[in-house]
Amino acid sequence: PAATPLTAMARAVLVTGAGGFVGSRTAEVLRLGGYDVVGLDISPDPDRNVVACDLCDRQSLWSTASYDFAAIVHCGAISGPSLHRDEPDRVVCTNILSTANLLEFARERSVPRFVFASSASVYGRTPTELPVSEERALHPSSVYAASKIAGEALIEAYCRQYDVSGVSLRIAAVYGPGRRTACVIRDMIQAGLKKEPLTLPFGRDQRYHYVHVDDAAAALSAAVRAPSLGLPAYTIAADQGVVLSALADLVREVVPGPPIAVEAAEDPLSDPQGPYELDAARRDLGWRPAIDLVSGIRSYAEWLTSENVKVPLQINSVA
């Protein structure tokens, strides 16, 4: 669907999950791009201009967000398949109801653009030898992934039925400064910094897809600005993926330390997948990743050293 371009008179963007990992960085990128950002999160953060709001509570949402918005960027959610696995009803209620409420808010307020932070987990298990495009059928293997598919379907339905201009970004595993939940890249880096051996129980030959938080935020911002949208959803990743044993070698080239042993078992929380096709996001959104994996590992290690790990840092330069 065609977009209504943002104008100088309509520069306010609502960002949900603005106190979280991806949402907070997206809010920063939008502000740097000249937008006025209103941030919502379940917990307030006055230092970041984030207002407390339960997105599943319509009254709270309608009373908190009283601006005329040019766009909504919806990052607020339970943010991965490893979280609340024993509470599937919580995942469903949080992720689906919040999206439905925000879409209704967008419809009633005639918000020109709706951008949804979905997940590449929606693809589920795919043949590892075949590329994964946006047209591939979706087969979720977790309730989390199913909740993201439901959100995408709601957005596409609102686009068709109510002429909302909406898009979903299927974002790969996000890493980088500020991540608080489990992250294998962080584990590898910290083991090197502490000079401790590390054994990972799975994933030696399994492809993983990553994207740096700055690139994920840039993609969400690009989706706000895009004059038109050719697809209902786009895949966002740094590259076509890396097996975990190769990732371990990359980390050790950047952050020297004891070897990382990676065992061959399949990761129970990550579907085997083929390489991602990324041309559509470049073509329609004008987005391409700016941070390759080696550069991202290096910058993440520098941040971990300066912020959290009080040990001398050894970082080798890798071409």
10-residue averages of pLDDT along the chain (319 residues): 40 93 96 94 88 92 84 87 70 93 95 96 96 96 94 97 95 94 94 95 95 98 95 97 96 95 92 96 97 96 76 44
pTM assigned to the model:
0.91
- For 53, residues 6+ apart whose C-beta sits below 8 A from its C-beta are 16, 40, 41, 42, 60, 61, 64, 65
pLDDT at 1: 40
pLDDT at 83: 63
> Which residue, among 175, 285, 184, 282, has the nearest Cα to 229 in the 3D structure?
285
pLDDT at 86: 65
pLDDT at 64: 80
Q: Where are the domains of the chain?
A: 12-175+209-236
d(CA 58, CA 305): 42
Q: Which CATH architecture has domain 12-175+209-236?
A: 3-Layer(aba) Sandwich (3.40)
Cβ-based burial of 193 (10 A; exposed 0-12, middle 13-18, buried ≥19):
buried
Strand 210-212 and strand 242-243: the pairing is unpaired
Q: Which amino acid is at 226?
A: A
pLDDT at 249: 96
- For 51, residues 6+ apart whose C-beta sits below 8 A from its C-beta are 38, 39, 40, 41, 44, 64
Strand 207-208 and strand 242-243: the pairing is antiparallel
The H-or-E segment that residue 13 falls in is strand 12-16
pLDDT at 3: 38
pLDDT at 48: 83
The H-or-E segment that residue 174 falls in is strand 173-175
> Which residue is associated with the tokens 């919502």?
40
